[in-house]
């Protein structure tokens, strides 16, 4: 226990000493005087110089001495405190020295073993390295000797091939290709035995290349596929096929660009005029835009340019055809695959793209630099377009012609057919690409001139019309003025026949011209009240309307004649002009509509007066003269004859007038039959007179149509109803014309007239007049047409009967047949449900 207590006391003392030491160390570390010594980059010289500079050397020395003393005490305290640990570390160091001594001995033994092994390996290795180097040099020497022997052999063979001329050019090129392969990757300079041969090979390569180029140029110019194929085979053997073809095409492009510049050079174009106009005392300033010589020279140059483009395209196309057909006899690789294997486009496509871009850029630059060229191209654009179209047709024809010039040799028919399809697909002049139209690309350079030409063409078409329709004028153009306008239209269409698209564009301008003529003519029409009077002679407004309609008719006929005289007129252009002519016919219809409306209303008013006459008499005796017809019929015949003679005969367009008046005649017949069915009382004498009126009705409406039989259903109604006047009710009910020709409502009204006086007619039992009854019956006929699933006939009937009467339209009746319902035709009779067919 005492020992334990002594140990505890010792530990306590050590701990207290350690704590005191730690506090001392912290004080030293926190002291600013010793902070510099703790820095990693402490410099003694810098610290000394700083201390001297501050002039506190004595204090610093004292401070340092005090710190050293404290450190010594601290070290002593640490040694005393940890002496056991230090002794244990010293003992461990002695053990480690023993282990290290043993390891050193073993390392020495290992080093000796390694030295003995090195002695046994190094010498054989050095011998192997030396022998390997000798073998490598022997192999290089052997390879060099083989190359030299092969070069000597090929050089000798090449000399004989060069003497064979163009017949041996492909073999010579193959020998040169092999010689190039032998010279690759090795330096043959300085070898005397082949030095002269290498010089000969270099000269021979130049000679073969030049000979192949001449052969290629000659073959392309003369369209000789054999020569072209031989030259291409030579270049393929030389390994320069792609570069050579690219160079040839680039040469064509450069020459063609020079030709385009020369054809559009204003200086060259004005040289003839300058030479002709030069002289002493005379101004030399040319006026090319106003001289015929300048235009003639320009178009001569343009024709030559088109010939040059066609020739160049033919040569490039021929070259591509040979490339597509020719195959290497050894590798069987098609030459065209060598050209396009890196994703590059075909040479014909590249060349054509260059041609179109050059034409666009050069034409634009020339037009911008010279107003004379711009005016020539804009004013004579059809001639320029004709040159382009002729060029395109020639290229297509050339493509068709050379199809039979290439027949793959040594192949089956199936292969020939497949090869032919592939060649057609590659020919852009025969088959367009999906995303590229070569013809459109060619004509894109003409877009500015086309727009300007169409604008001027529209002005040339509008100017004569504006001249013959002066502001404030009241008369339509004369025949001579109209002929002048027609000649202008015919001239524009004839000039535009060089191209279907241009014809369509000019046709649109002609359609605008037709519409302008219609607008100007419409402004001359009289819309006053006297334009629709039918009481007296023609008024001034009616005469002007007749003149306008006749002018529109002559205009319409002249345009139709011009279109019919055009050969190979595009259907789209014909439809465009026909659509514009429809507006002229519509305008003619609207011009005569007020007169037709008045005529129709007057005829209806005359027919309704039949109810003012007495038809209840009996049959006339033998001594009495029978009346041929009623007074109202005489009045109707006289009115129709007077209207035809006083008004309609002044119109030159008789067919058009008949087309308009036939509807009036149909309406008059239907109205006559309907009112005839309402006559009550009707005696035997009245039936005879009414039957005579039926016969006279055909004569009355004859002037309003070509033939009375052309009235169709109305004519059959007139003929079918007349026998019913003398038939019994049973025979009337069994008539085959009932329903199909004669409406049920009309027959019912006829039967009502035979009933006793107590049973009144429908119009007597309902409020309204005979006119309103006629309107109800007309609507009932429309409803019947709708119920028979014939809405077109119903609409035609409504427009023909309702559209002509202003009084009926003002009554509020709807015009479209969908406004009526398919009710029973007897709905308007007494005792039945009230009619609700009118949706007003």
Tokens 């297509």 — which residue? 396
What is the torsional sign of CA 56, 62, 64, 67?
A: negative
Exposure b/e, 767-800, CB count within 10 A at least 16 = b: eeebbebbbbbbbbbbbbbbeeeeeebbbebbeb
CB neighbourhood size of 213 (10 A) = 16
Tell me the CA distances in angstroms from 652 to 550, 564, 582, one per residue in order: 6, 21, 18
Residue among 344, 354, 325, 387 at smallest CA distance from 252: 354
Environment class of 803 (CB within 10 Å of its CB; exposed 0-12, middle 13-18, buried 19+) = middle
Torsion of the alpha carbons at 375, 378, 379 and 385, rounded to the nearest 10: 140
Backbone φ and ψ of 130, nearest 5°:
-65, -45
Write out 744-770 in H/E/C secondary structure. HHHHHHHHHHCCCCCCCCHHHHCCCCH
- Going along the chain from its start, the domains and CATH numbers come out as 244-272+292-403 (no CATH), 441-598 (1.10.357), 613-620+627-756 (no CATH)
Environment class of 740 (CB within 10 Å of its CB; exposed 0-12, middle 13-18, buried 19+) = exposed
d(CA 828, CA 837): 10
Segment-wise mean pLDDT, segments of 10 residues, the chain, 840 residues: 42 53 70 74 78 74 82 84 83 85 91 86 87 88 78 73 71 73 69 71 79 85 85 81 86 90 83 48 46 84 90 87 83 80 76 89 86 86 90 84 53 39 51 72 86 92 92 88 93 90 93 94 87 85 91 93 89 93 93 91 91 78 57 91 90 89 92 89 85 90 90 89 86 85 86 80 61 52 42 40 35 30 29 30
What is the pLDDT, as a whole number, of residue 404? 53
């Amino acid at each position: 226990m005492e020992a334990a207590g002594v140990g505890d006391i010792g530990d306590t003392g050590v701990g207290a000493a350690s704590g005191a030491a730690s506090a001392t160390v912290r004080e030293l570390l926190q002291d600013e005087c010793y902070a510099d010594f703790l820095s990693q980059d402490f410099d003694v010289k810098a610290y000394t110089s700083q201390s001297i500079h501050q002039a506190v050397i004595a204090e610093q020395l004292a401070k340092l001495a005090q710190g050293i003393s404290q450190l010594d005490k601290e070290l002593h305290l640490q040694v005393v405190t940890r002496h056991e640990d230090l002794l244990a570390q010293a003992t461990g160091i002695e053990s480690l020295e023993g282990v290290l001594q043993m390891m050193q001995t073993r390392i020495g033994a290992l080093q000796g073993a390694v030295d003995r092994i090195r002695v046994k390996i190094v010498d054989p290795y050095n011998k192997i390295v030396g022998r390997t180097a000798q073998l490598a040099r022997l192999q290089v020497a052997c390879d060099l000797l083989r190359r030299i022997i092969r070069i000597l052999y090929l050089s000798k063979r090449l000399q004989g091939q060069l003497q064979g001329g163009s017949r041996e050019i492909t073999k010579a090129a193959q020998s040169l290709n092999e010689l190039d392969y032998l010279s690759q990757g090795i330096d043959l300079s300085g070898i005397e035995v082949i030095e002269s041969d290498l010089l000969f090979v270099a000269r021979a390569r130049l000679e073969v290349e030049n000979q192949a180029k001449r052969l290629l140029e000659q073959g392309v110019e003369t369209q000789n596929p054999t020569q072209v194929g031989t030259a291409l085979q030579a270049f393929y053997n030389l390994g320069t096929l792609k570069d050579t073809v690219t160079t040839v095409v680039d040469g064509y492009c450069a020459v063609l660009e020079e030709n385009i510049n020369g054809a559009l050079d204003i200086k060259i174009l004005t040289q003839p005029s300058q030479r002709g106009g030069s002289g002493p005392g005379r101004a030399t300033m040319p006026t090319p835009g106003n001289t015929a010589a300048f235009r003639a020279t320009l178009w001569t140059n343009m024709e030559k340019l088109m010939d040059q483009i066609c020739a160049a395209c033919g040569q490039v196309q021929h070259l591509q055809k040979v490339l597509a057909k020719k195959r290497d006899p050894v590798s069987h690789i098609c030459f065209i695959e060598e050209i396009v294997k890196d994703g590059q486009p075909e040479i014909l496509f590249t060349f054509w793209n260059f041609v179109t871009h050059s034409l666009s850029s050069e034409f634009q630059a020339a037009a911008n630099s010279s107003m004379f060229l711009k005016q020539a191209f804009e004013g004579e654009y059809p001639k320029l377009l004709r040159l382009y179209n002729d060029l395109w047709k020639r290229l297509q024809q050339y493509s068709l012609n050379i199809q039979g010039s290439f027949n793959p040799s040594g192949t089956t028919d199936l292969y020939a057919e497949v090869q032919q399809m592939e060649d057609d697909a590659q020919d852009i002049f025969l088959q367009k690409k999906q995303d590229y139209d070569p013809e459109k690309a060619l004509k894109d350079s003409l877009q500015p001139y086309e727009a300007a030409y169409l604008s001027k063409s529209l002005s040339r078409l509008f100017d004569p019309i504006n001249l013959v329709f002066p502001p404030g004028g009241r008369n339509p153009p004369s025949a001579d003025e109209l002929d002048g306008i027609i000649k202008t239209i015919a001239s524009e269409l004839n000039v535009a026949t060089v191209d279907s698209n241009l014809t369509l564009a000019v046709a649109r301008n002609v359609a605008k011209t037709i519409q302008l003529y219609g607008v100007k003519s419409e402004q001359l029409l009289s819309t006053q009240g006297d334009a629709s009077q039918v009481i007296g002679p023609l008024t001034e407004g009616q005469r002007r309307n007749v003149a306008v309609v006749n002018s529109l008719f002559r205009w319409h006929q002249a345009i139709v004649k011009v279109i019919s005289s055009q050969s190979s007129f595009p259907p789209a252009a014909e439809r465009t002009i026909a659509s514009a002519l429809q507006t002229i016919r519509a305008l003619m219809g609207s011009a005569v509509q007020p007169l037709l409306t008045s005529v129709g209303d007057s005829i209806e008013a005359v027919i309704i007066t039949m109810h003012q006459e007495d038809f209840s008499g009996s049959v006339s005796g033998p001594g009495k003269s029978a009346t041929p017809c009623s007074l109202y019929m005489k009045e109707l015949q006289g009115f129709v004859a007077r209207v035809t003679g006083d008004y309609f005969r002044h119109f030159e367009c008789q067919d058009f007038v008949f087309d308009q008046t036939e509807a009036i005649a149909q309406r008059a017949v239907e109205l006559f039959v309907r009112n005839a069915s309402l006559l009550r009382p009707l005696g035997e004498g009245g039936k005879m007179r009414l039957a005579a009126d039926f016969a006279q009705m055909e004569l009355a409406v004859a002037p309003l149509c070509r033939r009375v039989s052309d009235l169709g259903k109305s004519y059959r109604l007139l003929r079918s109803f007349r026998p019913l006047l003398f038939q019994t009710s049973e025979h009337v009910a069994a008539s085959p014309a009932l329903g199909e020709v004669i409406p049920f409502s009309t027959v019912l009204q006829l039967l009502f007239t035979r009933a006793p006086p107590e049973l009144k007619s429908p119009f007597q039992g309902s409020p309204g007049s005979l006119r309103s009854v006629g309107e109800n019956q007309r609507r009932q006929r429309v409803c019947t047409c709708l119920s028979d699933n014939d809405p077109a006939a119903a609409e035609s009937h409504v427009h023909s009967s309702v559209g002509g009467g202003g009084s009926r339209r003002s009554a509020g009746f709807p015009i479209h047949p969908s406004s009526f319902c398919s009710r029973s035709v007897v709905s308007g009779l007494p005792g039945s449900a009230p009619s609700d067919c009118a949706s007003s």
